[in-house]
Structures are given as structure tokens and as C-alpha cells.
Amino acid sequence: MQTVLSIAADAVAYGMVLFVISIGLSVTMGLMKVVNLAHGAFAMMGGYIAAFATHQLGVPFGVAIVAAVAGTVLAAIPVERVLYRPIYGAPELTQVLMTIGITFVIIGIANYAMGPSMKTIPLPTILEGPVDIGFRSIAAHKLFAVATGLVVAAAAWLVIERTAFGVKLRASVDNATMAAALGVRTKVVYAVSFAAAVGLAALGGVVGAQLLPIEPYYALRYMVTFLVVVSVGGAGSIPGALLACLLLGAVETTGRYLMPEFGEFFFYLAVIAIVCVFPHGLLGRRG
Amino acid sequence: MTTDATVKARNAASLGRVRRSAAVDATAVVIILAAAALLYVLFPGSLALFTRMVAIMMLALSLDLVTGFAGIATLGHAALFGAGAYAAGILASKFGFTDPFAMLGVGAVAGALAGIVSSVVILRGRGLGQLVLSIAIVQLAHEAANKLSAWTGGSDGLSGIAPAPIFGLYRFDLWGRTAFILAVALLVVVFVLLRVIIRSPFGMLCRGIKQDPVRVRAMGAPVYGTLVKLYAIAGAVAGLGGALSAVATKVVGLDSLSFTLSAEALVMLVLGGVGKLFGALIGTFVFIWFEHLVAAINPFHWLTIVGVMLIVVVLFEPRGLTGAAEALWTRARGGRR
């Protein structure tokens, strides 16, 4: 029982970090139908900015998070303008190539600017120690990650279901041409949601830096994981992404605890099984 | 009404097309052989590198069949290459069958089987799902090979492969001359066979499926079965490439079964030009040559260059190097086709 609860606690923390990073990817993929392999690179960028801000500039953790999100969004806007616009509506292969290319360039730049070593983001004292949650003590930063995930999920749900922008967003996801014909400025919707997605990725990169350590190959190593989350959950579905993150987090964490010598074998086995049974994802549309 | 004359004219026209494409194939074979001879004479110390190039060219050719002719985007094609490499390696090191042609044959069969299995899985998905399934397959194979270290050597790689002399006469020498000649001979055979296959009615059907699968099905042609068959052929080619690399380098590493190799093969193919088979050869050659030069200095610079190259190709020359060369050629001849 003790083991089960321990695994569950870690799985939830890991799943929530995945969720914060990949929710933006899920929404933009559902919206713009772009297979974006560079999403992890933006999360990595956030992590690097936060590491730089805390180490070199000595700012507190909270400020570093804000700086990471703002900096990544600022850097992503010209990228969206110049490199993403031409591939909206292009064949998948083109999108894959372009976004892999962007990922490679960001990795190269990250290594050039920050060096190949792993970067840490020092936590504030309040998040450093362990916290007793009844059956075991858990690191405070994991609880923080879970809390962030819950806040992000709630905020995303509120924005999409309860605001005027959410209505336009959902309309564009369902049928972009029709929405445009009815006066929704889809280009603005695209740009805003792309910026929000990148910002969330950066936030996840910082909050999850203890679990997914920041180093130049981060973008490549976890690229697959984020894509998997989106395709398992179903592109464009927030509950789907949440479900997929918790499920895959559970599979991955259980595998690591009980059969570490198998590595990610069970993770990918689960992915194949789920996608074969649900080709559009667990809660995807057009299923 | 089809008169006798029009039938005759049509037959003559199709005969002309066959003759012309046969001429193109002959030219291509001559170019491949000339390039190989030139490399053999000019860079006798780098033959191992060129042999590796040929093995990867098989992977790129195989990927071109699937991606270029049937339109399936996959990031897991190295699974087929690795299957061939490990099958050939295990045959030689664990069972002691060291005849190079037996190793190549087993590699091709293993590749074809891996192709059939992965096509059954990959064809379940559409779009993003398809891409993720292809990645999951190569990662799964990678983890499995890592775990089964009794058979595969795990992360140390599979060693102890000692191929017997070809026909019992030509030993695999230290300089890799025999391996290089074997590789070029295989490449020519595979290339000509693939050219024939893509011109056959079967190849036309694959191209039709790429353009409009619904319509092909409506015409009464099998879509699923055709794609599985194509995957089997592609798997045999990739497996042959893997087996060739096992024969030539005498080791099989986990990297032959990696996501990285799959992605790199796609980059090479796109760099050269998708859907033309020539593109696979040229892209692989240019990519590995540059990698050899730049990666020796700094691997991260290499990554940046590949990234920039991809972006440039997508934005400015989606048809790749061969497409750019074709455009230049057309312009040089005064814009006529």
C-alpha cells in the first residue's frame, strides 16, 4: 500500500508537469492543425531563461518564472510570424521538417549560449524541504507542480468555456473557414493562442525543471513525450490532455519504480495500445 | 471508336516511354558506378565511411518508397534498418552462419517482417497519431533491444561478427575494399529493382493512394493491402541496408535502431528530394559527407546547420537538391521541358 501511494504521488506530480507543458501544444494542434515538434524547445527556453535570471541576475524564483514566460513569448512571436505562418495548412511532412529544423537550431543556440552542462534553477526555501502529506513526505516542489497544473487546468477551462475569446477559439477549432466567414479574426486567435501555448510551455519548463532537467538535448528528449500526450489525449481536448498526462505519468512512474531495467518499454507499449484503439485520442474529435 | 492506327500509336508511345526510362536508369547506374570508382581511387582511406553511406542510402531509399510514393510520414523507419542489422548480426555471432549472402538475405527477410508488423500498427493511425505510432515503434524496438542484451549485446553493441569471404574467395580486408565493392554492387541492383517496381502498375497504385486513397478504394483497388505490401518491400530494402552495415562494420549498435537515425534519414531524403529515388542517394551522400566534416569539430554546430538546412529547404526549395538541379537544368535549356 505504501508503495502504491508513493508511486501515485510521484505519478501525479510528473503527470501535472507534463500537463502544464503539453496543454498549449494540444490546443494549438487542435486549432491550427500544425504538428509542432518545437514545443519542447520553447519549454527548454523558459527553463534556460529562469536559470540565467536566478544565477546571473540573482532575482527571486517568482520573478524568474515571470521573466521566463515573458521572454519565451517574446522570442516566439517572430518565430511564429516568419517560420510558422508558411506551414499552416501544409502537408504533415513539411510541418514535421520545419519544426524539427527549428528545434535543432534552438538546441544549437542553447548550447552555444549556455554550454552543454545541466542547468539548475534554485528553489526558494519554502519549496525546498519535504512536506508531510500523511502517508509519506513529498518534496514541496512536486506539490507546487501539482498545484500549478490544477491552476492551469482550471484557468484554461475558464478561458475556453466562459469567455468571448474562448467562444472564438472553439469556433475556429471546429471550422476555421466558417468562423472567419462569420467575422472571427482567426489570425488573431491563432497568434494569441500560439503565444499562450508557448508561455505555458515555458512555465512548465521552469516548474518541472526538477523532474525534467534543463540541458540542450531537453528539446529532443521530451519532444516525443509531449507529442505522445497530445495524440493519446486527442488534439484540442483539455480533459483529454489531463487524462492522458495522468495515465501516461502513472505508466511511466510505475515502470520506473517496479521495473527500472525496462526503461520506457511499457510507456511506448501503452502508447501503441491506446492509439491503436483510439486513433483520434481518448477524448479527441472526429472519433 | 478506337482505330487500329491509334492503338498502334499508343503502343509506340508507351514503348517510347519505357525506352526513355530505361535510358534514364542506365545513365543513373553509370553515374553511380563512376562516382564509386572515383571515390575508390581518390579516397582509398575513407572506404569504410562510403560503405556506411551506402547502407544508409538503402534506408533513405526505403523511406522514399513509404514517404515519397505512398505519402506516409514516419519518424520510425530505423526500426526496419535495425531489424535487418540485428538479424544479420545475431545469425553470424550467435549461430555461426557467417556467409555474407546468408546474412544479407536474413537481414532483408527480417526487415520485411519488421516492415509488415510496423505497417499494421502505423496504418491504424491518421495524421498525428500515425506519426506518434511510428515513433513509438522505433522507441519500443530500441528498448527491447537494450533489454535483450543476451542476444543483442545491449548498450555495448553486438560484436563478434566475422563474415566469411565472399564466394569463399574475397576476404573482407582491413581497408574495406571488398565491403565497398559489395555495397556498390548491392546498391545498383536495389536501385534498378526499385525503379522497375515504382514504374509497375503496383507503383502507380501506390502513387494513386498518396493522391487520393478514397478514390482508389472507390475504383475497387485495395488500399490497405497495397500499403502493407509496399511496407514489406521497403522493409526488405532497409533490412538489407542494416545487414550490409553489420557485414561491413562487424558490429551492430543500438543507434541503428534509434529515433535519431529515423529522423536523420528523413532529413537526408528531404535534402535530396522526396519521391525520386535519386534524391535519397544524393541527400544521403551530401548529409553524411558534411556530418563527417562538421561533426568532427563540434556536434552542436552540426545540429544548428542541419536545422537551418531544413528550414531553408522547406521555405525555398521543397523539392530538395535534385529539384533545384532539375530547375537549373530546365532553365539552362531555355525554359523548355
**Rounded CA gap, A68 and A72, in Å?**
6
Q: How far is A130 from chain B (nearest CA, A)?
A: 34
CA A149 to the chain's CA centroid? 11
Contacts 24+ apart (CB under 8 A), A187-191: A189/A31, A189/A165, A190/A31, A190/A32, A190/A88, A191/A77, A191/A80
**Rounded CA gap, B77 and B63, in Å?**
7
CA distances to A43, A250, B274, B280, B323 from B328, in Å? 41, 55, 18, 19, 9
Q: How far is B157 from chain A (nearest CA, A)?
A: 17
pLDDT digits (tens, 9 = 90+) for A202-228: 999 999 988 888 988 888 888 888 988
What are the DSSP calls for B42-78, one per residue?
A: H-GGGHHHHHHHHHHHHHHHHHIIIIIIT----S-TH
pLDDT digits (tens, 9 = 90+) for A169-184: 888 888 888 999 999 9
CA distances to A231, A281, B62, B290 from B125, in Å? 10, 10, 20, 35
Q: Does A79 touch chain B (CB under 8 A)?
A: no
- B307 to chain A: closest CA residue: A101
Q: Does B192 touch chain A (CB under 8 A)?
A: no
Answer whether A285's CB lies under 8 Å from B128's CB. Answer: no
Task: Report percent pLDDT > 90 for chain B.
Answer: 49
Confidence of residue B335 (pLDDT cuts 50, 70, 90): low
**Rounded CA gap, A43 and B281, in Å?**
36
Which three-class secondary structure state does DSSP give residue B138? helix
pLDDT over threshold 50, residue B337: no
**Rounded CA gap, B98 and B162, in Å?**
6
Q: What is the pLDDT of residue A27?
A: 85
Residue type, position B63, single letter: L
Which helix or strand (DSSP H or E) is residue A258 part of? helix A238-258
Which helix or strand (DSSP H or E) is residue A137 part of? strand A137-139
Record the cell numbers describing residue B336, joined without a space. Answer: 523548355
Name the nearest CA neighbour of A121 among A71, A69, A15, A49.
Answer: A49
Answer whether A53's CB lies under 8 Å from A59's CB. Answer: yes
Answer whether A15's CB lies under 8 Å from A245's CB. Answer: yes
Q: How far is B197 from chain A (nearest CA, A)?
A: 24
Record: contact A268-B75, CB cut-off 8 A: no
State chain B's mean pLDDT as an integer. Answer: 88
**Rounded CA gap, A51 and A228, in Å?**
27
With left for phi above 0 and alpha for psi between -120 and 50, is residue B275 left, alpha or beta? left
For the segment B287-309, the average pLDDT, to the nearest whole number, is 85
> Which residues in chain A touch residue B300, judged by CB atoms under 8 angstroms apart?
107-108, 111-112, 116, 216
Residue type, position A133, single letter: I
User: Structural domain boundaries of chain A?
Assistant: 2-277
> Which residues in chain B touch residue A111, judged by CB atoms under 8 angstroms apart?
300, 303
pLDDT digits (tens, 9 = 90+) for B219-235: 998 999 999 999 999 99
Which three-class secondary structure state does DSSP give residue A138? strand
CA distances to A37, A169, A200, B314, B319 from A84, in Å? 12, 18, 18, 11, 19
How many CB atoms are located within 10 Å of the residue A102 CB? Answer: 23
Q: Which CATH number fits domain A2-277: 1.10.3470, 1.20.1250, 3.40.30, 3.90.920?
A: 1.10.3470
Q: Is B289 exposed, middle or buried (0-12, 13-18, 19+ CB in 10 A)?
A: middle
A59: CB partners within 8 A, 6+ apart: A53, A67
- Per-residue burial over A123-161, b if 16 or more Cβ lie within 10 Å, else e, is beeebeeeeeeeeeebbbbbbbbbebbeebbeebeebbe
Record: contact A101-B309, CB cut-off 8 A: yes
Q: Does B139 touch chain A (CB under 8 A)?
A: yes
Tell which wins on pLDDT, B16 or B323: B323
DSSP A80: I
Answer whether A242's CB lies under 8 Å from A153's CB. Answer: yes
**Which residues are B158's β-sheet partners?**
B252
**Rounded CA gap, B57 and B264, in Å?**
11
**Rounded CA gap, B164 and B93, in Å?**
12
Record the cell numbers describing residue B146, joined without a space. Answer: 537494450
Write out chain A's pLDDT in tens, 287 residues: 778 888 888 899 999 999 999 998 998 888 888 888 999 999 999 999 999 999 888 889 999 999 999 999 999 999 998 999 888 888 888 999 999 999 999 999 998 888 888 888 888 888 887 887 777 778 888 889 999 999 999 999 899 889 999 999 888 888 888 999 999 998 888 889 999 999 999 999 999 988 888 988 888 888 888 988 998 988 888 889 999 999 999 998 998 888 887 778 888 999 999 988 888 888 876 53
Q: Is the ipTM of this complex over 0.90?
A: no
Record: contact A268-B143, CB cut-off 8 A: yes
pLDDT digits (tens, 9 = 90+) for B136-189: 999 999 999 988 888 888 788 888 888 878 887 788 877 788 899 999 999 999
Q: What is the pLDDT of residue B60?
A: 96
pLDDT over threshold 80, residue B208: yes
Q: Does B170 touch chain A (CB under 8 A)?
A: no
Record: contact A107-B307, CB cut-off 8 A: yes
Q: What is the pLDDT of residue A287?
A: 38
Q: Does A78 touch chain B (CB under 8 A)?
A: no
Answer whether A44's CB lies under 8 Å from A218's CB. Answer: yes
**Which residues are B170's β-sheet partners?**
B166
pLDDT over threshold 80, residue B332: yes
Q: What is the pLDDT of residue A237?
A: 84
> Which residues in chain A touch residue B135, judged by CB atoms under 8 angstroms apart?
224, 227-228
Mutate to test the interface with A, among B121, B262, B266, B314 (most CBs of A within 10 A): B314
Q: What is the pLDDT of residue A4?
A: 84
In the block, cell 542517394 appears at B281
Q: Does B120 touch chain A (CB under 8 A)?
A: no
What are the DSSP calls for B242-304, one per residue?
A: HHHHHHHHS-B-GGGGSHHHHHHHHHHHHHH-TTSSHHHHHHHHHHHHHHHHHTTT-HHHHHH
Record: contact A102-B128, CB cut-off 8 A: no
**Rounded CA gap, B240 and B193, in Å?**
13
Q: State the maximum Cα–Cα separation within chain A, in Å, rounded to a whole number.
A: 57
Residue type, position A188, single letter: V
Name the nearest CA neighbour of A249 among A234, A239, A264.
Answer: A264
Which three-class secondary structure state does DSSP give residue B143? helix
**Rounded CA gap, B98 and B265, in Å?**
28
What are the DSSP calls for B102-141, one per residue?
A: HHHHHHHHHHHHHHHHHHHHHTT--THHHHHHHHHHHHHH
Q: What is the pLDDT of residue B317?
A: 82
